[in-house]
Structure 1
Amino acid sequence: MEGLCDAEDTLARASQLWTMLDDMAKSNPESYHQFMQQQLKDAKQYYAPAEPYMCLEARILDPTEKSLFVNLCRWNRIPGPQSPSDPVPLRAGKMEEVSDKSEFYSVIDIAYNPSVFEKGKNDRAMKDQLIRLSLKYIEEHYNMTLFHSYTIVKFQLKGSLERMRQSLRREQAPVSQKNLRKEMTLNQLRNIVTKKDSSDRTLLENMVPSKTCLIEEISSTEKPEDLCTPAYEVTTRTDANGKPLKIELKVELPEVHCVSECNLSICKDDVLIECPTKYKLHLDLPWSVNEEATAATFYKRKRVLLISMPVCQ
């Protein structure tokens, strides 16, 4: 019953939102356009995938001595600390072991809100403390002992970009009702436009009390659902010389009744479509695309989503 009430409340808020936007579009088209552009910008940032920031090399002493690479990543989906007295939220992927002919090491991906890195961008002490907090989390979470020193390596990421993103996506954080409404609102706002045509030890000492947990892990104890991969078709449109102009993606979503049921994330190299409890489709694109010029249209009668992505020239 509680879930039904929440759904009805969300629908009521959505209806009020649509009415407000319709009135704004008629009475003040310029303000409506500016509002929509800002919401699209915010949605793009929120749904943008994680990006590598820096890579550390440390040493595991116990239980098995070997190298450990830690990919520190920026991700807008990870909330920043709400206040100086709050812990720093993070999302960690699963630690993976890599063994080949020349190397034997472990790698783990840890994501923070970009604002966390900005605080230590020009402050070596803050950066060092954030790194040590990350290593401390690894020690406690995996019950291991690390050598006290570390090295910031020249490359930003150990392993492939897709492996890192999949690792961090593997466990999604629970979404509060407040955040759920925010996500739905961003989807609805985006859809309106679419239909129109994400050795110092002083870091954080002044930010959090010494008796407070410095890091808060964003994770879920629930097992991820096995979602169906929808039928889809990818077509590349070319000019007379065979040069790619745009990529068209057609996705059949027979169980989707409204486009607001889907989360759509488009980056220059990949597309991610998630319809909670129904479908999930992640595709690597054959060409880099212009995210700003991308358009998506949902045909309600046919239950088909068509995405047109101009290729970067």
Structure 2
Amino acid sequence: MSIPEGVDRDSMMTQAQNIWTMLDEMSERDPQAYKKFIDKHMKEGKEYMKPPEPHMCVMTMTTSTKGRYFINFCSWNKVPEPKTPEDAIPVIGTPVLQDKDENGDFSYSGVAFNPKILEEFGIDCKNSLDRNTLINLAIDYILHQNKTALSRSFSVLPSTTLSKGNLQVLMKAFQGKNKNADDEFDEHLSEMEKTFGLQGLGAKDSLLNKLANLSTEESVQDKNAPNIQLPGLGKDQTKKQNLIQEMNSDNSEQVCETKEPDYKMEEKFNGEDLEKLTLTIKLPGVNKVSECELDISEDDIDLTVEDRYHLNFSFPYLINDTKASAKFNKNNSSLIITLPVQT
């Protein structure tokens, strides 16, 4: 039998026997407390075993092909919440999937977070900056996990469309992340029930199943933790740091930190009429414009230099983005962007 990594067989068997002895004593001493105990853990076990639930869908595009890309944010109890607001936020993601609708082909994938994270920073978040930060970090996750670069210009679909793509395929992609661990757990549970003569309770629905799920929850999640964790978004943080912690197979960490570059915006007038905005962004260490990924829309700008800089903000005026231009000054590593204002 395959034993989960880090779990001692004899120790686990002893632990299980102790649990059953304790429950036998409780059932005789206080039947009402015993019933409450069982009901509580059965309920928690069922909640834990629920599949991911669609929460929010974001539409953007791939930077290489300009094809549509949908990010499905899902709520999943199997994803732990961070222990403190400063800790990284665990996330489980799927590979990139393909589908089509009346408008043609599109790509999509899923990212799952603990329900409490999406309650605070998801579709109903009152602070759009917090929600946009979470979305941008999910885009970072997809870049590192699936090597797929996405545009920073995105839109949140209305609450009537919580997911996009084949939902059944998406759920299978999520479940595939935990299949090996679930198979090992079922095998381990079957042997324990045979050893202690508990077949009559039913393997899949027995209290031991629920208790074991709860007692080994942390180790199972650690073993199947995502390769990338997103940073905590503390309530008191007004300026978010775009930080990705990439977990290697040996559990060592590689930390890639990006920061907001210094920038200056000037308004240029033609007589009394505002004609254009000039945005100068300082990018020390950047030597050529090809290192910059720039997205400009009529109401915002997003600049990314991988692993170094990230800038995103909204314009005070609507911009004629089709006439916007950018020049890179190698002498002082600055990017000068000219933004004509809509008239």
Shorter chain as denominator, the TM-score bin is 0.5 to 0.7
Alpha-carbon distance between aligned partners in 1 of 2:98 and 2:4, rounded to the nearest angstrom: 43
Cα distance change, pair 3–218 in 1 and its aligned pair in 2 (3 A) = closer
Alpha-carbon distance between aligned partners in 1 of 2:249 and 2:178, rounded to the nearest angstrom: 6
State the AA in 2 paired with 1:19.
T
Alpha-carbon distance between aligned partners in 2 of 1:219 and 1:49, rounded to the nearest angstrom: 26
Alpha-carbon distance between aligned partners in 2 of 1:5 and 1:214, rounded to the nearest angstrom: 29
Alignment of 1:236-255 (within 5 A): none
**Counterpart position of 2:98:** 97
Deviations 1:158-187 (A, max 9, x none): 123321210111222886xxxx7xx979x9
RCO higher in structure (CA 8 A, sep ≥6): 1
State the AA in 1 paired with 2:135.
I
**Counterpart position of 1:110:** 111
Alignment of 1:113-152 (within 5 A): 113-120=114-121, 121-124=124-127, 125-152=129-156
1:40 aligns with 2:46: no
Q: Secondary structure of 1:123's match?
A: coil
Q: Secondary structure of 2:85's match?
A: coil
State the AA in 1 paired with 2:146.
Y
Moved more, 113-122 or 71-80: 113-122
Residues 72, 164 of structure 2: 8 Å contact kept = yes
**Counterpart position of 1:84:** 85
1:188 deviates by 7.8
Gaps of 5+ in 2: 193-201, 214-231, 251-343
Residues 91, 218 of structure 1: 8 Å contact kept = no
Deviations 1:94-152 (A, max 9, x none): 10123567412110011111011122244323222111111121223333432221111
Provide the TM-score with structure 2 as the length reference. Answer: 0.51
Cα distance change, pair 219–117 in 1 and its aligned pair in 2 (3 A) = farther
Alpha-carbon distance between aligned partners in 2 of 1:142 and 1:2, rounded to the nearest angstrom: 27
Alpha-carbon distance between aligned partners in 2 of 1:27 and 1:152, rounded to the nearest angstrom: 55
1:168 aligns with 2:174: yes
Gaps of 5+ in 1: 221-313
Alpha-carbon distance between aligned partners in 1 of 2:78 and 2:248, rounded to the nearest angstrom: 10
State the AA in 1 paired with 2:149.
T
Q: Secondary structure of 1:89's match?
A: coil
Q: Secondary structure of 2:43's match?
A: helix
Q: Secondary structure of 2:11's match?
A: helix
Count of aligned positions: 207
Alpha-carbon distance between aligned partners in 2 of 1:97 and 1:122, rounded to the nearest angstrom: 29
State the AA in 2 paired with 1:167.
A
Larger-gyration structure (1/2): 2
**Counterpart position of 1:58:** 60
CA-based RMSD of the aligned residues comes to: 4.0
Alpha-carbon distance between aligned partners in 2 of 1:57 and 1:80, rounded to the nearest angstrom: 25
Cα distance change, pair 174–210 in 1 and its aligned pair in 2 (3 A) = farther
Cα distance change, pair 213–12 in 1 and its aligned pair in 2 (3 A) = farther
Moved more, 135-144 or 51-60: 135-144
Cα distance change, pair 128–204 in 1 and its aligned pair in 2 (3 A) = farther
State the AA in 1 paired with 2:177.
E
Identical residues among aligned pairs (%):
24
Deviations 1:34-79 (A, max 9, x none): 01110011101100111100111001122x2201001000000011
Residues 84, 208 of structure 1: 8 Å contact kept = no
Cα distance change, pair 207–7 in 1 and its aligned pair in 2 (3 A) = farther
